[in-house]
């Protein structure tokens, strides 16, 4: 009655059959930090321009959506924000989702992981916490999130969450201002016994402002990082590659704080409102999602003939956020991703065997969340 | 060591396991181990019935009715399945307490 099966096979089947096994649900845009790169909106403003907190989904709406995504096939559910931990209903949402059978992760900036909160989310059934880290020391991290003391609270919170039995993973975001600390951030994570992932890709904001991009690492630093401390993350060289598609709108889906369905939380392309339609109807009938599912390599104007494709880890979400074109860029070099692919190409050419990172066709990761 | 199962045991799916039916196959994900297990149709039925209210005897009856297998075979399969999943922590067993109204023990 029981057979061993593999996660990668499950993801592939979900991709092929368009089953949204990975759903990231942004339950609020509120946050206690003011990160310089925050993709939600410029955190020097009180809220996302043109929107108000009152427009965020109600608890009852969130619970309804949880039932609907579960029925459509969700297995991996992440709550994100803003700071998901600031939502007073979070515990109830976790309980509902985990009792329904979903594996629940809370994405957190770490600074709100105080003992009582950890106990509550663990008891409610969360199994994992992803914690964002921006430096190996307080000065760097705190200048990034613009709140003094945040670094220590994040470190303490990550340790406490792990001690409470949650799976903890650090998401290290790499920017110009912390590029010299990556090695020490990795060392810190290793000392704490916490696995990590790292990403230098950041995006323009939902509100259309682009100052979040000012701090992106340059070519020289990228080259140095992927020959050095991030060598293990260099993607596998894939010379047989015939697609630049992500898992967006197939096995992956995002839901905004206002109930808008996105092909991925990293690709904020409005695809249907859960205030007006059921998740099933949006997932199956949305013209935007169907358009994405039917894209072929020839629909990507720059990528289809690109000499760097075998080395590129293009994320449609990142490209969409930065260029406004999901199947962009229009021309090679219009997005930072192209520069990254050139760097990877050069490193692969010099030592083709290097590369232990994930396969090139991944999901669009969102660089962080509260 | 695990005690022998009894017909009035009422297995309950453990919160240490997430699950979903994907493209017709029910998969269990052991959250700590990140291990994925696939279930066949009978396994799926037992898993879905294991709500802490339904006794093993009742589960066997339901399996016999749905899959038209001899009762002895069904009982042996169901017991082995529940034993295996209990041993890895995917089921908790309960016998104490009242059986909820309307539920055949
Ligand atoms: S390097 Fe740029 S143009 Fe080439 S495949 Fe990647 S995203 Fe497309
Ligand atoms: S913690 Fe996340 S949501 Fe909050 S300001 Fe930073 S990036 Fe934005």
- Please say if the pLDDT value at position B61 is more than 60: yes
- Please say if the pLDDT value at position A363 is more than 50: no
Is the CB–ligand 1 distance for residue A256 below 6 Å? no
Which range (A50-54, A104-108, A233-237, A248-252) has the least confidence?
A233-237
- Please say if the pLDDT value at position A364 is more than 60: no
- Please say if the pLDDT value at position A78 is more than 80: yes
What does the pLDDT look like over A151-207, one tens digit per residue?
999 999 999 999 999 999 999 999 999 999 999 999 999 999 999 999 998 899 988
Grade residue A61 by pLDDT with cuts at 50, 70 and 90: very high
Grade residue A211 by pLDDT with cuts at 50, 70 and 90: confident
pTM of the model: 0.93
**Tell me, what's the ipTM?**
0.88
Nearest chain A residue to B33 by CA: give it: A167
What does the pLDDT look like over A320-334, one tens digit per residue?
999 999 999 999 999
- Please say if the pLDDT value at position A366 is more than 50: no
Q: What interhelical angle do A182-192 and A150-163 show, nearest 10?
A: 30
Grade residue B96 by pLDDT with cuts at 50, 70 and 90: low
Q: Looking at the domain B9-89, which fold is it? A: Outer Surface Protein A; domain 3 (3.90.930)
Is the CB–ligand 1 distance for residue A314 below 6 Å? yes
Minimum CA distance residue for ligand 1 atom 2: A338
- A127 contacts B37? CB cut-off 8 A: no
Nearest chain A residue to B12 by CA: give it: A99
Q: What is the DSSP letter of B23?
A: T
* Segment B13-22 mean pLDDT: 95
Distance from the CA of A107 to the center of ligand 2, in angstroms? 10
What are the chain B neighbours of A69 within 8 Å (beta carbons)? none
Closest CB from A2, A98, A167 relative to B43: A2
Closest CB from B13, B36, B40 relative to A6: B36
Mutate to test the pocket of ligand 1, among A237, A333, A341 (most ligand atoms within 8 A of CB): A341
DSSP A153-176: HHHHHHHHHHHTT-EEEEEEE--G
Bridge-partner residues for A253, per DSSP? Answer: A23
- Please say if the pLDDT value at position A352 is more than 90: no
- Please say if the pLDDT value at position B102 is more than 70: no
Distance CA A240, CA B99 (A): 59
Query: A185-204: string of b/e by CB count within 10 Å (b at 16+)?
Result: bbebbeeeebebebbbbbbb
H/E stretch holding A105: strand A103-108
Distance CA A344, CA A339 (A): 9
- Please say if the pLDDT value at position B94 is more than 80: no
Name the residue among A202, A234, A227, A155 with its Cα closest to residue A335. Answer: A202
What does the pLDDT look like over A128-159, one tens digit per residue?
999 999 999 999 999 999 999 999 999 999 99
Mean pLDDT of chain B: 89
* Segment A275-294 mean pLDDT: 98
Strand order in the sheet with A252-255: A196-199, A167-173, A128-133, A103-108, A76-80, A22-26, A252-255, A261-262
Q: What are phi and psi of A196, to 5 degrees?
A: -145, 160
Is the CB–ligand 1 distance for residue A308 below 6 Å? yes
Nearest chain A residue to B43 by CA: give it: A1
Mean pLDDT of chain A: 93
Q: In percent, how much of chain B has pLDDT > 70?
A: 89
- Suggest the residue from A4, A69, A95, A101 to mutate for an interface test with chain B (most B CBs closer than 10 A): A101
* pLDDT the model gives residue A358: 52
* pLDDT the model gives residue A238: 83
* pLDDT the model gives residue A5: 80
Distance CA B45, CA B82 (A): 12
């Amino acid at each position: 009655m029981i057979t061993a099966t593999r996660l990668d096979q499950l993801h592939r089947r979900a991709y092929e059959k368009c089953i949204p096994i990975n759903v990231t649900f942004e339950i609020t845009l509120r946050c206690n930090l003011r990160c310089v790169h925050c993709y939600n909106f410029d955190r020097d403003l009180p809220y996302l321009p043109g929107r108000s907190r009152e427009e965020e989904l109600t608890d009852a709406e969130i619970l309804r959506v949880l039932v609907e995504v579960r029925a459509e096939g969700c297995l991996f559910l992440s709550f994100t924000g803003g700071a998901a931990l600031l939502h007073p209903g979070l515990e109830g949402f976790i309980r509902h989702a985990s009792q329904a059978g979903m594996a629940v992760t809370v994405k957190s900036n770490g600074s709100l992981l105080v003992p009582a909160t950890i106990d509550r989310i663990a008891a409610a059934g969360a199994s994992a916490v992803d914690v964002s880290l921006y430096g190996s020391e307080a000065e760097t991290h705190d200048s990034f999130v613009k709140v003094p003391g945040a670094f220590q609270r994040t470190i303490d919170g990550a340790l406490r969450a792990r001690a409470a039995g949650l799976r903890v993973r650090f998401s290290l975001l790499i920017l110009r201002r912390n590029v010299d600390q990556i090695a020490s951030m990795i060392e810190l994570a290793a000392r704490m016994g916490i696995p990590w992932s790292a990403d230098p890709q950041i995006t323009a904001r939902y509100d259309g402002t682009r100052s979040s991009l000012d701090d992106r690492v340059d070519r020289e630093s990228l080259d140095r990082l992927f020959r050095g401390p991030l060598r293990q993350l260099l993607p596998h060289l894939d010379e047989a590659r015939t697609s630049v598609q992500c898992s967006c709108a197939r096995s992956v889906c995002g839901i905004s704080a206002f109930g808008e369905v996105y092909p991925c939380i990293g690709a904020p392309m409005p695809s249907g409102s859960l205030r007006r339609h059921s998740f099933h109807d949006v997932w199956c009938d949305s013209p935007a999602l169907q358009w994405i599912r039917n894209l072929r390599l020839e629909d990507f104007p720059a990528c289809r003939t690109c000499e760097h494709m075998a080395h590129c880890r293009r994320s449609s979400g990142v490209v969409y956020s930065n260029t406004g074109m999901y199947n962009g860029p229009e021309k090679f070099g219009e997005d930072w991703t192209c520069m990254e692919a050139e760097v990877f190409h050069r490193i692969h050419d010099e030592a083709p065997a290097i590369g232990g990172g994930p396969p090139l066709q991944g999901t669009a990761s969102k660089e962080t969340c509260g | 060591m695990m005690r022998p199962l009894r017909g009035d045991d009422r297995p309950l799916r453990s919160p240490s396991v997430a699950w979903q039916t994907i493209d017709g196959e029910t998969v269990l994900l052991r959250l700590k181990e990140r291990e994925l297990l696939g279930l066949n149709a009978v396994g799926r039925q037992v898993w879905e019935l294991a709500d802490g209210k339904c006794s093993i005897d009742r589960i066997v009856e339901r399996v016999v009715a749905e899959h038209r297998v001899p009762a002895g075979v069904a009982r042996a399969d169901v017991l082995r399945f529940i034993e295996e999943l209990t041993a890895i922590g995917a089921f908790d067993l309960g016998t104490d307490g009242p059986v909820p109204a309307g539920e055949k023990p």
